[in-house]
Amino acid sequence: GAVVSQHPSRVICKSGTSVKIECRSLDFQATTMFWYRQFPKKSLMLMATSNEGSKATYEQGVEKDKFLINHASLTLSTLTVTSAHPEDSSFYICSARGVPTSGVTDTQYFGPGTRLTVL
């Protein structure tokens, strides 16, 4: 149990375009989802926290108009990088915190990540 998927796994786009990344909890309901970004050989940096049906809470320094987060259901959250620029190139990882059930501990389960490259 407790599988989180991300799509796409890798995306290359031109500067100025918008990119949407999906995060799904496949076999549990996620009360809260989180988005992180990670630069090479660096640790994960929390960008925002989202609860289903409410607005995301962004960490200090993260532009909410640039990184749009939607958490439409208990199994799906999306991150849209608007008007992407080369400095937005990074590894984006989502995680989901689920309702504890058999096989699901009350912690965060991470997706495999999405590698974004902006040319």
Q: Residue numbers of the site for other proteins (CB under 8 A)? A: 2, 4, 6, 32, 34, 36, 43-46, 49, 51, 57, 91, 93-95, 97, 105-113, 115
Question: Closest approach of Cβ 91 to other proteins, in Å?
Answer: 7
Question: Closest approach of Cβ 60 to other proteins, in Å?
Answer: 12
Tell me the three state secondary structure of residue 101: strand
- Tell me the C-alpha to C-alpha distance, in Å, between residue 74 and each of 31, 84, 101, 107: 6, 27, 15, 16
Q: Determine the Cα–Cα distance for residues 56 and 54; give it in Å rounded to an integer.
A: 6
Question: Closest approach of Cβ 49 to other proteins, in Å?
Answer: 6
Residue placing its CB nearer to other proteins in the complex, 16 or 112:
112
Residue placing its CB nearer to other proteins in the complex, 44 or 68:
44
Question: Closest approach of Cβ 117 to other proteins, in Å?
Answer: 13
- As to burial, measured by CB atoms within 10 angstroms (0-12 exposed, 13-18 middle, 19+ buried), residue 31 is middle
Residue placing its CB nearer to other proteins in the complex, 64 or 115:
115
Residue placing its CB nearer to other proteins in the complex, 3 or 119:
3
